[in-house]
């Protein structure tokens, strides 16, 4: 039986707060967004990574752990211990002032939100210890059961986070040598000394995952996660497996469309040979954890599973691909990709940029859909470089209008050269939709492009939220560091969408197009 055609919405969780949120989209906001998606005929939601990010970072791809959820997404008012302490009404005046400020901000204020939630959750944990653990309640037992069940990743994570906090959030390589290199005696002593902090970190994960799984269950649509390509060097994963990573190099990409000099992501490359000698235990653990949290996963920078562009920290050394030759790359990538396929969840892969043909051949053999970004799908080797009509996209693919790294559709259209506009509008899928090359980005242009994409031959379509509305919102500009990246929030709280005319009208349009296209 052929897989069903489907359409979904891509959005960062941080971008969709509700009126009850604390300055950022939270786990508890997913059901309201899912209800709107259902009304819009959408089958799934594609989120950016939810892994805990490094202190001071804002990019969801700056993961400091491959396993733990970020406590910044906890909906604090729903935590039973916060309720028992009097909820929002009982917050100190300075915390209430911060809460009002982050709720009223046009963008996510990560440092303020994280600090506020940390203060309140610390107080809540103190209450949990006194009123639940010390009294042996059912909630205490539930938390202990979670710690036991998830100890295969939670134990190392909680130890690392406790040590990190004890050393003023400094990177592990700046800790005392015995701790940095995980000397067993030193770690045993530290675990005992930091037992309460370790328990706090585990409690946070219990709260976070309990809220996440409840929200995912109530979302009413399938929820796809996003697997960051690499992991921060300052992470429990690298700290506990130093021999599996190159600590004298960083990973990036060669020069490409985003950067004339390539990109350096500042993350440690994997040592493929060492990982292979373990039977890829860490990769299997990541796949197991991903399958427990999501219905499907987008694998970021798929080509990185086949080969990594290694940039030695010593600039006199040559930048190289690892593994160095195509046969080894092909075997390795298929092996790693197979681990995620065997986890039982849906897998789609971001195969954009410079991707060798053998990678796409491997994807085809494994039946893994790659990405077809409408603006970039052109016959590049043909005179005039004509655009490829969405009706010609492979069935096993994902059609998109853009990604979290591209400018929104509205900006793309405004900046598109007149001859490219004319070539784009010559596509059969856009013919007869009443749009001309002289058209500004009005609703008719938006609807023509989005409608044509939903009608594509690709089995799966993913629409960035800002594109279905025609907003000028951008999530991230690659190779830049500024206070705009990763901070966009919708203007209307997500719990009010079902009653707001603009949001209702958009849902009705999408639903009609999906029904007409059998999605």
pLDDT score of 358 more than 90: yes
Q: What is the pLDDT of residue 258?
A: 65
Q: Quote the crossing angle between the two packed helices 184-193 and 195-218, to the nearest 10°.
A: 80
pLDDT, mean of residues 57-67: 94
pLDDT digits over 176-232, tens only? 999 999 999 999 999 999 999 999 999 999 999 999 999 999 999 999 999 988 899
The pLDDT value recorded for residue 2 is: 59
Q: Does residue 255 lie within any of the structural domains?
A: yes
SS3 62: coil
Rg, the chain, Cα only = 24
The average pLDDT across 400-428 equals 95
Q: What is the mean pLDDT of residues 134-144?
A: 98
Other CB atoms within 10 Å distance of the CB of residue 367 = 10
Tell whether the model's pLDDT for residue 1 goes beyond 80.
no
C-alpha span between 354 and 335 (Å, rounded): 21
- Asked whether residue 253 is assigned to any structural domain, the reply reads yes
Determine the structural domain holding residue 283 and report its residue range: 241-354
* Measured CA angle at 284 (ends 152, 357), to 5 deg: 155
Per the domain annotation, does 34 fall within a domain?
no
Give domain status of residue 259, yes or no.
yes
Q: Which of 211, 172, 223 is nearest to 69 (CA)?
A: 211
**Where do the H-state alpha helices sit in 346-417?**
357-366, 409-415
Higher pLDDT, 479 or 446: 446
Query: What pTM did the predictor assign?
Result: 0.96
Number of domains in the chain: 1
- Residue 109 CA, distance from chain mean position: 18
Between CA 415 and CA 387 the distance in angstroms is 17
Q: Report pLDDT digits (tens) over 259-313.
A: 777 888 899 999 999 999 999 999 999 999 999 999 999 999 999 999 999 999 9
d(CA 291, CA 289) in angstroms, rounded, equals 5
Instruction: Give tens-digit pLDDT for 453-510.
Output: 999 999 999 999 999 999 999 999 987 888 899 999 999 999 999 888 999 999 999 9
398: β partners: 371, 460
User: What is the full DSSP assignment across 450-462?
Assistant: HHHHHTSSSSEEE
412 contacts 439 by C-beta, under 8 angstroms: no
Is 267 among the domain residues? yes
List Cα–Cα distances, 339 to 279, 342, 462, in angstroms: 11, 5, 24
């Amino acid at each position: 039986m052929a897989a069903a055609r489907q359409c979904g919405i891509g959005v960062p969780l941080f971008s969709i707060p509700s009126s009850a949120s604390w300055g950022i989209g939270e786990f508890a906001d997913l059901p309201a967004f899912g209800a709107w998606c259902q009304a819009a005929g959408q089958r799934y939601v594609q989120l950016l990574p939810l892994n805990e990010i490094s202190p001071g970072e804002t990019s969801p791809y700056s993961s400091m752990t491959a396993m733990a959820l970020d406590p910044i997404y906890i909906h604090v008012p729903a935590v039973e211990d916060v309720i028992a302490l009097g909820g929002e009404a009982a917050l100190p005046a300075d915390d209430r002032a911060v809460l009002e400020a982050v709720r009223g901000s046009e963008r996510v204020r990560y440092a303020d939100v994280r600090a506020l939630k940390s203060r309140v959750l610390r107080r809540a944990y103190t209450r949990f210890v006194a009123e639940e653990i010390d009294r042996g309640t059912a909630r205490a037992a539930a938390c202990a059961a979670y710690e036991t069940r998830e100890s295969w990743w939670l134990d190392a994570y909680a130890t690392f986070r406790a040590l990190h906090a004890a050393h003023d959030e400094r990177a592990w390589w700046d800790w005392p040598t015995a701790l940095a290199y995980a000397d067993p005696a030193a770690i045993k002593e530290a675990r005992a000394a930091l037992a309460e902090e370790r328990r706090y970190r585990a409690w946070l994960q219990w709260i976070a995952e309990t809220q996440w799984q409840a929200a995912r269950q109530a979302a009413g649509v399938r929820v796809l996660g996003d697997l960051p390509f690499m992991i921060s060097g300052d992470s429990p994963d690298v700290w506990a497996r130093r021999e599996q990573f190159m600590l004298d190099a960083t990973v990036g990409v060669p020069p490409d469309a985003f950067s004339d000099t390539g990109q350096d992501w500042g993350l440690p490359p994997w040592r493929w040979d060492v990982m292979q000698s373990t039977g890829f235990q860490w990769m299997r653990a990541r796949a197991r954890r991903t399958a427990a949290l999501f219905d499907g996963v987008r694998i970021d920078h798929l080509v990185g599973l086949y080969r990594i562009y290694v940039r030695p920290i010593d600039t006199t050394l040559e930048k190289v691909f690892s593994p160095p030759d195509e046969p080894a790359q092909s075997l390795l990538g298929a092996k790693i990709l197979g681990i995620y396929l065997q986890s039982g969840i849906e897998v789609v892969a971001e195969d954009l940029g410079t991707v060798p043909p053998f990678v796409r051949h491997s994807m085809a053999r494994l039946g893994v859909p790659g990405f077809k970004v409408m603006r970039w799908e052109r016959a590049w080797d043909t005179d005039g470089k004509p655009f490829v009509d969405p009706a010609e996209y492979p069935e096993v693919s994902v059609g998109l209008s853009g990604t979290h790294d591209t400018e929104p559709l509205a900006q793309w259209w405004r900046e598109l050269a007149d001859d490219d506009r004319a070539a784009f509008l010559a596509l059969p899928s856009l013919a007869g939709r009443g749009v001309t090359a002289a058209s500004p980005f009005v609703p008719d242009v938006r609807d023509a492009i989005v409608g044509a994409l939903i009608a594509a031959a690709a089995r799966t379509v993913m629409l960035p939220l800002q594109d279905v509305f025609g907003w000028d919102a951008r999530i991230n500009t690659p190779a830049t560091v500024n206070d705009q990246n990763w901070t966009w929030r919708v203007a209307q709280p997500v719990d009010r969408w079902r009653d707001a005319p603009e949001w209702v009208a958009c849902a009705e349009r999408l639903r009609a197009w999906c029904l007409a296209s059998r999605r």
